[in-house]
Copies of this chain bind each other. A is one copy, B any other.
């Protein structure tokens, strides 16, 4: 292995030192060049963690739910990582992460590693950054990595691409949470959790979910995302379970369902399929990030681009022509209509 300035940290990471993990994560978040070097060293030590994606509407009690789930999953010599991702506020960069800080206080054990990530304006960078953190926690020795997102939308779909099992939290009474959650997340959910089952309306929420699933059944494993050169997969009917995160009710059953899904994706060859797709998607994310970065950098204080803008303002050129001029600057091999 090529020697780098991160060798010492890498050594300590592989020995399971928490501070080394935290430091390496910060380095990857702040600098893509550091990320590149670090992931290069980390990569061959990955592939052991089981990745759980968890999301839910605001108010669905994700924080308490995850705390309880961790307590139930924790065994001696089992390590759990939690990555809390907040892609919701692109401009403020503000994340309501107080809950996560409380969660951190709860688990002072070295067996639980909790990390929060907010979108600090990285363009398409948050899912890439999350992938990096997953890899570092995997090499650090986490057996289970929980990736939690706070919102709904396209960002979550990207962030959850590497999750083996995706859980979505709903809550009785919140009339339109199914509606909210529908935006793209629905189709990638393996297990629906009706949390706060002690509240009135839990059974109705389950009924609503069943009704909705009858309309959209099995979307995930029919998806074109699944590589075609694999045997036909038996489809997975999303499971539904009610839980009470305060009392811990039904968490054993929930964990059984997660394990059932784990077996399902292993038996159906979906795991290896997922790995291929995940690599594709991740490389695509990195590529996009690099291409966009390169392009955006060109726009900073570039006199040629200022000239082009002036022409577009005068309407002697349109924005598409301007884009094509810039592509020529990027020295792509441009053929007509190649783009």
* Residues of chain A at the chain B interface (Cβ within 8 Å): 33, 35-36, 39-40, 43-44, 46-47, 58-59, 87-92, 131, 151, 153-155, 157, 176, 179, 182-184, 186-188, 219, 275-276, 279-280, 282-284, 286-288, 290-296, 299, 305, 308-309, 312-313, 315, 318-323, 326-327, 330-333, 337-339
In the assembled complex, how far is the CB of residue A60 from the closest CB belonging to chain B, in whole angstroms?
A: 13
Cβ contact within 8 Å between B187 and A92: yes
CA A319 – CA B135 in complex, angstroms?
11
Contact assessment for A295 and B291 in the assembled complex, using a CB-CB cutoff below 8 Å: yes
- On chain B, the residues within 8 Å of A87 by CB distance are 154
Are A91 and B39 within 8 A (Cβ)?
no
> What CA separation (Å) do A176 and B151 show in the bound complex?
14
A319 with B184, Cβ < 8 A, contacts A284-B296, A339-B290 known: no
A-B contact pairs, 22 of them (CB 8 A): A35-B320, A36-B320, A39-B319, A40-B320, A43-B315, A89-B183, A90-B153, A90-B184, A91-B157, A92-B184, A92-B187, A131-B319, A153-B153, A276-B313, A280-B305, A283-B308, A283-B322, A283-B326, A286-B322, A288-B288, A290-B327, A332-B332
Considering the complex, give the chain B residue whose CB is closest to the CB of A317. Answer: B43
Picked from B90, B299, B332, the residue with its CB within 8 Å of the CB of A280 is B299
Taking a contact as CB atoms closer than 8 A, the residue among B91, B151, B313, B330 that contacts A279 in the complex is B313
Residues of chain B contacted by A58 (CB below 8 angstroms): 176, 179
Q: Is the CB of A286 within 8 A of B43?
A: no
- CB of B89 within 8 A of CB of A319, answer no
Measured in the bound complex, the distance between the Cα atoms of B284 and A309 in whole Å is 12
- Residues in chain B near residue A36, CB distance under 8 A: 320
Question: What are the residues of chain B within 8 A of A92 when measuring CB–CB?
Answer: 182, 184, 186-187
Nearest neighbor of A333 in chain B, beta-carbon distance: B331
Q: In the complex, A328 Cα to B291 Cα: how many Å? A: 12
Q: Collect the chain B residues with CB atoms within 8 Å of residue A176's CB.
A: 58-59
Known: A90-B184, A288-B291, A294-B339. 14 other contacts (CB 8 A): A36-B320, A40-B320, A59-B176, A89-B182, A90-B154, A90-B183, A91-B188, A275-B313, A280-B309, A287-B323, A287-B326, A290-B327, A294-B332, A331-B333
Which of A92, A286, A292: most chain B Cβ within 10 A? Answer: A286
Q: For residue A299, which residues in chain B have a CB less than 8 angstroms away from its CB?
A: 280, 284
**Contact A44:B315 (CB < 8 A) given known A183-B88, A326-B287, A331-B331:** yes
- Given the interface contacts A287-B295, A332-B332, does A184 sit within 8 Å of B320 by beta carbon? no
A230 CB, min distance to chain B CBs, angstroms: 14
